[in-house]
Amino acid sequence: MKILELFAGVGGFRIGLEKADNHLFQTKWANQWEPSRKSQDAFEVYNYRFPTSQNLNINISDITDQQFSAMDADMIVGGFPCQDYSVARSKKNEQGIEGKKGVLFWEIIRATRIIHPKYLILENVDRLLKAPSKQRGRDFAIMLSAFNRLGYSVEWRVINAAEYGRSQRRRRVFFFVYRNDTDFAIKVDRQFENNNAIFEAHRYDDYLYRTGLFATQFPVKPFTHRGRQVCYPLDDDIVDVSDNFTGTVWNTGVMRHGKYYSVDTEPDYAGKAITLGDIIQDEKDISEKYFLTDEEKLEKFRYLRGAKKIERISSEGHTYLYTEGGMSPYDDLNLPGRTILTSEGTVNRSTHLLKVNNRYRLLTPIEAERLQDFPDDWTAIKKNQDGLLVNVSDKMRLFFMGNALVTEVVKEIGLFIKEIEVSFLMK
C-alpha cells in the first residue's frame, strides 16, 4: 500500500504502520512544515530517518493540485492541528465553501478529493468532538459532512493509550476513513442492509461494539455508558452544518451515507498498563543535568503543582479570583505517565517531575520517546540544510514528543487494515 504522510512530524504514523507490516505499508511521500520556525528541525529528523521517500518541507497549501495528483496513494495519514473549522460560502470557489480558520483540515479534504485514496487515518485532540464551546460538536460534524460529500465513511474513537496497556495517559481521537466503494465498505453495507433495528440509533451497534476497526483492536464493554447513544442525519450543505448544527458527539461512532451514529463506550482491556517506573532509564545512564539540585527550581515546581488562589484583573478591568487545584508533588512511578506536552522541556506545571531514590529529576528525551513508543534516541540526530549530521537539543526533542502520537496505537490500526486488505486479496 502506497502512503502519503501529512503533518509528518518525526514520523510517528510511519513508525506505527511499519511496526504492523513494513512490507505492506510503504510511505512514498511525506510533508512536514513548521510555519512559525526558521529551523525545520522535525523535517530534518524525518528526512534523516527516511531518506528514500519523497519528503517535502513546504506549507501544505503550497502543494499544488498537480503534485497531489501525481501521488497515487492508497492511504493518507496525519495528525493535523486542532483549529476552528467553521466555513463560509465562497463567491469564487466552485465547491461552494471555504474554511475560515481550519485551513489545514481543508487541505486534507483537497488531497482526498484529488488523490481519492482507499483509506485515511487521522488523529487529533479529543476536545475536537466538543468544539467549539458555544456550538459543541459542530467542528467534527463539519468534517463528517465533508467526507460524506466525497463518498467516504468515517469511524472514530477516543483512545486513552494507557487504558490499552501503553505507558502514557494520552487521550486522542483517531479516525478511520474509508471510501464507500471499497471491499470493506461494501461488506459493511451487506452486513447491515437488512438491519432495520427497532430504533435507528442501534443500526450499527454490532459494528461499534464488536466488528469495526476500533472495536476489534481496542475492545469496549458491550453496553452503552449511561445510555448515551444518538443517531443524527447530516445536512448535505456544509455551510448549514457550520451555522446550525446542534447534535451530540460521543467518544465512539461511525458516519455512513449521510448519518452518524455515536455512543459513549468504556474500554474493556484485561492487561496491565506499562508504568513510568517500567520505562525510566537506569540511573547510571542519566546525566547529572537532568537532576534538580537547585532548591529554587524545586520550590518553583512545588508552587506550580500546588493549589492556589490568585486575584487577577480581566482585560475589562474586573477583579476576579483565579483558582487552581493541587496535583501530586511529583509523578507516581507506579502509574502510566501523564500526557506529554510540547512544554515538557520547560519549568511548567505540566512538566513531569520524577523522584527516584530520593532524588528529583526531569524526564530524559529517551524516556519521552518511550512514552510515545518511539525507538530510543530516534530524535537525537538530524541532517541539516547543509547535509551535515548534527545533534538535536534536549528541549527540541521533548517538543517533538509533545507533538507526536503513541505509535503502538497506530500499529493496532495498521494490523486491522492489513487483515482486511489480505482477506479481500485472498478471495
Q: Which residues contact 213 (CB under 8 A, 6 or more apart)?
A: 155, 176, 413, 416, 417
The pLDDT value recorded for residue 423 is 85
Count the alpha carbons within 13 Å of 262 in the hemisphere toward its beta carbon.
21
Answer whether 405's CB lies under 8 Å from 372's CB.
yes
Using the 3D structure, point to which of 349, 367, 383 is the last residue of a domain. Answer: 383
Answer whether 50's CB lies under 8 Å from 11's CB.
yes
Average of pLDDT values for 29-42? 92
Has residue 389 been placed in a domain?
no
pLDDT in tens, 53-83: 999 999 999 999 999 999 999 999 999 887 6
Distances (CA, A) of 167 to 145, 373, 385, 411: 35, 8, 35, 15
Site of grid cell 508504568: 275
Has residue 401 been placed in a domain?
no
305 with 252, same domain: the answer is no
Total domains in the fold of the chain? 2
128 with 255, same domain: the answer is yes
Query: In terms of C-beta density within 10 A (0-12 exposed, 13-18 middle, 19 or more buried), how is residue 92 classed?
Result: exposed
283 with 257, same domain: the answer is no
293 with 151, same domain: the answer is no
pLDDT in tens, 161-218: 999 999 999 999 999 999 999 999 999 998 876 665 556 778 899 999 999 999 999 9
DSSP state of 291: B
The pLDDT value recorded for residue 196 is 59
255 with 311, same domain: the answer is no
Average of pLDDT values for 124-144? 92
Has residue 40 been placed in a domain?
yes
CATH number of the domain where residue 189 is located: 3.40.50.150
What integer best gives the mean pLDDT of the chain?
A: 92
Range of the domain at 194: 2-271+407-425
- Tell me which residue of 38, 91, 234 sits closest to 154, measured CA to CA: 234
Has residue 402 been placed in a domain?
no
The pLDDT value recorded for residue 92 is 46
Q: In this structure, is the dihedral angle defined by the CA atoms of residues 213, 217, 223 and 229, taken in order, positive or negative?
A: negative
pLDDT in tens, 374-398: 999 999 999 998 999 999 999 999 9
pLDDT in tens, 283-303: 999 999 999 998 999 999 999
**35 upstream amide cis, omega within 30 of 0:** no
316 with 196, same domain: the answer is no
Has residue 110 been placed in a domain?
yes
Q: Out of 24, 82, 114, 356, which one is annotated catalytic?
A: 82
The pLDDT value recorded for residue 93 is 44
Query: In terms of C-beta density within 10 A (0-12 exposed, 13-18 middle, 19 or more buried), how is residue 36 classed?
Result: exposed
Terminus-to-terminus CA distance in the chain, angstroms? 18
Has residue 297 been placed in a domain?
yes
| Distance (Å, whole) CA 307 – CA 118 | 50
Has residue 392 been placed in a domain?
no
pLDDT in tens, 77-118: 999 887 666 666 554 443 444 544 457 899 999 999 999 999
Whether 231 is catalytic: no
111 with 240, same domain: the answer is yes
The pLDDT value recorded for residue 37 is 79
34 with 140, same domain: the answer is yes
The phi, psi pair for 332, rounded to 5°, reads: -80, 120
Q: Report pTM.
A: 0.93
115 with 212, same domain: the answer is yes
| Distance (Å, whole) CA 32 – CA 46 | 8
The pLDDT value recorded for residue 104 is 87
The pLDDT value recorded for residue 161 is 98
Has residue 394 been placed in a domain?
no
204 with 118, same domain: the answer is yes
Comparing 257 with 38, which gets the higher pLDDT? Answer: 257
327 with 192, same domain: the answer is no
Q: Which residues contact 385 (CB under 8 A, 6 or more apart)?
A: 40, 44
412 with 374, same domain: the answer is no
